[in-house]
Structure 1
Amino acid sequence: MSIQTAKRLETVEEYYFSKKLREVRALAASGKPILNMAIGSPDLDPPKEVVESIQNAVVLDGAHKYQSYQGIPELREAISNFYENKYKVVLDPENEILPLMGSKEGIMHISLAYLNEGDEVLVPNPGYPTYTSVTNLVGAKPVYYDLVAENEWEPDLKDLAKKDLSKVKIMWVNYPHMPTGANGSIDLFKKLVNFATDHNILLVNDNPYSFVLNDNPISILFVPGAKNVALELNSLSKTFNMAGWRVGMVNGSQEKIEAILKVKSNMDSGMFQGIQKGAIAALNISDDWYSKMNTIYKERRKLIWELASILGCNYDKTATGMFVWAKLPKGINAVEFIDTILYENSVFITPGDIFGSNGAGYIRFSLCVTKENIKEAIKRLQVEA
């Protein structure tokens, strides 16, 4: 007997990397020397202070009990101090900060808190595929807005304003942008806040790449009046090499945080205290940490640029973040191209198509690859060039 699945599953597919990585693992298991240059999963260790903090925390009295849905007060205080020190944004730790088990869950929590069936959501193209899948899962409708190189991967808000936005409830933005590395600016954030205010839209900036190869970290909440219409997601995954720890946060006005907490408190039972203690240590780390990480990423990025050039790609050397977004020569299908390289050269790269139609003709390299492995990929692909 077959039990019928929910109709919502008809609106989504398995996440690309979940499916593709099974194929990549099978190739590796068969003896292929696969070099994975596709995934933004940091390969470097977290700060030693962070590891020591969780080690010490596991023996504390009460460490293994259920924890607060809002996180321990010390964590919210650390997030508040971090935002004030790094972004010049003042957040009340009591009611304007909600720690998350990774910011990815925040996308679902925000959507469940604010979207009804039939509501519309503005989703960037190209952009993070989870914005679309979560929108579909909750019964809302994704409406894509174009990001193109000619406009520096920023939305054309004048063009958007001409459209019927009466059903739009949420607009997802993501600066520094993934996958393109476009940095955004306070001027852009001001325009976005004004746009959201004019059209009564909840604006959500997804901001996990602020400190990766970026000398000017910014938050949308810096803009005066932003808290009236905006939320910001952030994460410790990329900045502190803590992807597997699942520590994120959503920040905004008390009213909005309370709405999200209604959802979250019914979906988990609080974050392990030791992880919260580790997160506090990370948020209090010295600026030397960022400099050290970016020195490593700069060295890797230079080699990735060399690899992209071998493949005949163009790329923007001013882009920020953990990836290199590269345009293939005209007429080359990115999906077919990366599959050829995967099967013939055992190098796995991400096709831009998975981020939306405006990603067609592009490929994305991750910087979470050792210099030795990048040099090996260069050797393999030089033969083909």
Structure 2
Amino acid sequence: MKGFANRINSVEEYYFSAKLREVNQMMAEGKPVINLGIGSPDLAPDRAVIDALKNTAENPKAHGYQSYQGIPELRVAMAEFYSREYGVSLNPQNEILPLIGSKEGILHISMAFLNPGDQVLIPNPGYPTYSSVTKLLEAEPVFYHLDLEKKGRPNFEELETWDLSKVKLMWINYPHMPTGASGSTQILKELIDFAKRHQIILVNDNPYSHILNPEPLSIFKVEGGKDVALELNSLSKTFNMPGWRIGMLCGRADWVEAVLKIKSNMDSGMFLGLQKGAIAALNLGKSWFKDQNQEYSNRRNLIWKLADQLNLSYDKNSTGLFVWCKTPEGKSPEELVDWLLYEKNIFITPGKIFGSEGNQYVRFSLCMPEFKILEAINRIKS
């Protein structure tokens, strides 16, 4: 046995992969764990989505290999979604690539653009996969800071003092996970100008744009966005379909084509039933978002009460699927996480897994029904 590839030493197992094994073991032992840690929507997709999947699955001709680019109707539905929701025009023939989840896109984009030694700007705090994929490809993550009091604006003044000559990609993410910073059109404009000055490719990871966010944004709505940026989007959070693994990559045709070269060597297309279900979801009206956000708003109000019980501070102007909370000075987030899990059977996420700027924070998910959040509040009171 000659051992593993060196790249495996550059990353650790994804936090939730390991931690959820422990949580599931506790539940198997009869402990009533309330999972407020992971952002997996517990609400169901719309009935029309499930019917589209079921009706397609009953067709005996629907089970063969599918196109790597998805069926034309799916790309058209994605283009119409962008036009309707963001006011952005995309060519469904060559500016949209359906993905088996947007997480797949993070890897494929990185493989298409990065060489060993290239540098990648990654938000701190930020989604851990940006960093782990960068390391797996032997590129170098370089972490930049966000001003949470200015809607998550990157510290451009600091960035401009750095040597950016080796930077190839920059990951951005609004509404931002884990903090819920909303971003703004002005921030996106500053990012586009920054990318142009330094010849950096922006990748806007945009899966939370419709969750408790009154103004969904696409970077392509801002002048010059398509010249310097790609955008990832997902049906996981927006339409309660995380297990379906349906995402999309959007942007200029030559860049999308480069990513397709990678993707076409990695999978064999998406099951037709999933594509038909995705089309049904993308065609849902505004009432879908209104009703869903009312549910999440009710849950967030309860999470704020839970955070108050724990003397945590938080920003009521944040958006997205999580509540980002700062622990009091001198209080350890890790100790709080362990106390809640082992004494109260409540699982939340320590902020440190999102980067060094998360060391004094914890994160709560809104993916739990109100009665469960109320039960968590009562456990803490007791």
8 Å CA contact 1:120, 1:168 repeated in 2: yes
2:177 corresponds to 1:178: yes
The 3 A distance-change label for structure 1 pair 251 and 192 is same
Partner Cα separation in structure 1 for residue 262 and residue 144 of structure 2: 28
Partner Cα separation in structure 2 for residue 3 and residue 46 of structure 1: 47
Superposition deviation, residue 3 in structure 1: 3.9
Correspondences of 1:31-110 after superposition (within 5 Å): 31-60=30-59, 62-110=61-109
Opposite residue 80 of structure 2, the aligned amino acid is N
Partner Cα separation in structure 2 for residue 93 and residue 8 of structure 1: 36
2:7 corresponds to 1:27: no
Partner Cα separation in structure 1 for residue 232 and residue 78 of structure 2: 12
SS in structure 2 of the partner of residue 172 of structure 1: strand
Partner Cα separation in structure 1 for residue 225 and residue 333 of structure 2: 38
Partner Cα separation in structure 2 for residue 7 and residue 112 of structure 1: 17
Superposition deviation, residue 77 in structure 1: 0.3
Partner Cα separation in structure 2 for residue 178 and residue 249 of structure 1: 18
Encode CA deviations 1:231-279: one digit per residue, 9 max, x unaligned.
0000000010000000000000001000000000000000001100000
**Corresponding residue of 2:230:** 231
Aligned length: 382
Cα-Cα RMSD: 0.9
Partner Cα separation in structure 2 for residue 64 and residue 83 of structure 1: 29
SS in structure 2 of the partner of residue 26 of structure 1: helix
Superposition deviation, residue 150 in structure 1: 4.2
Gaps of 5+ in 2: none
Correspondences of 1:7-26 after superposition (within 5 Å): 7-26=6-25
Partner Cα separation in structure 1 for residue 118 and residue 101 of structure 2: 25
**Corresponding residue of 2:216:** 217
Opposite residue 160 of structure 1, the aligned amino acid is L
SS in structure 1 of the partner of residue 153 of structure 2: coil
8 Å CA contact 1:205, 1:231 repeated in 2: yes
Superposition deviation, residue 181 in structure 1: 0.4
**Corresponding residue of 1:113:** 112
8 Å CA contact 1:148, 1:358 repeated in 2: no
Superposition deviation, residue 69 in structure 1: 0.4
8 Å CA contact 1:147, 1:358 repeated in 2: no
Partner Cα separation in structure 2 for residue 305 and residue 64 of structure 1: 46
Superposition deviation, residue 227 in structure 1: 1.1
Correspondences of 1:194-343 after superposition (within 5 Å): 194-343=193-342
If the length of structure 2 is used for normalisation, what is the TM-score?
Answer: 0.99
Opposite residue 123 of structure 1, the aligned amino acid is I
Opposite residue 78 of structure 1, the aligned amino acid is A
Partner Cα separation in structure 1 for residue 248 and residue 273 of structure 2: 17
Give me the identity figure in percent: 58
8 Å CA contact 1:331, 1:361 repeated in 2: no
If the length of structure 1 is used for normalisation, what is the TM-score?
Answer: 0.98
Superposition deviation, residue 154 in structure 1: 1.9
Partner Cα separation in structure 1 for residue 147 and residue 16 of structure 2: 24
8 Å CA contact 1:154, 1:184 repeated in 2: yes
The 3 A distance-change label for structure 1 pair 152 and 215 is closer
Spell out structure 1 runs of 4+ moving beyond 4 A: none
Correspondences of 1:140-179 after superposition (within 5 Å): 140-179=139-178
Opposite residue 32 of structure 1, the aligned amino acid is K
Partner Cα separation in structure 2 for residue 210 and residue 194 of structure 1: 22
Opposite residue 301 of structure 2, the aligned amino acid is K
**Corresponding residue of 1:135:** 134
Partner Cα separation in structure 2 for residue 289 and residue 227 of structure 1: 29
8 Å CA contact 1:127, 1:179 repeated in 2: yes
Superposition deviation, residue 30 in structure 1: 1.8
Superposition deviation, residue 61 in structure 1: 5.5
Partner Cα separation in structure 1 for residue 200 and residue 331 of structure 2: 38
Partner Cα separation in structure 2 for residue 147 and residue 225 of structure 1: 23
Superposition deviation, residue 151 in structure 1: 4.3
Partner Cα separation in structure 2 for residue 15 and residue 334 of structure 1: 19
Partner Cα separation in structure 2 for residue 305 and residue 359 of structure 1: 19
SS in structure 1 of the partner of residue 62 of structure 2: coil
**Corresponding residue of 2:125:** 126
2:362 corresponds to 1:370: no
Superposition deviation, residue 327 in structure 1: 0.9
Superposition deviation, residue 360 in structure 1: 1.0
Encode CA deviations 1:55-83: one digit per residue, 9 max, x unaligned.
11113363111100000000000000000
8 Å CA contact 2:152, 2:182 repeated in 1: no
2:329 corresponds to 1:346: no
Superposition deviation, residue 95 in structure 1: 0.3
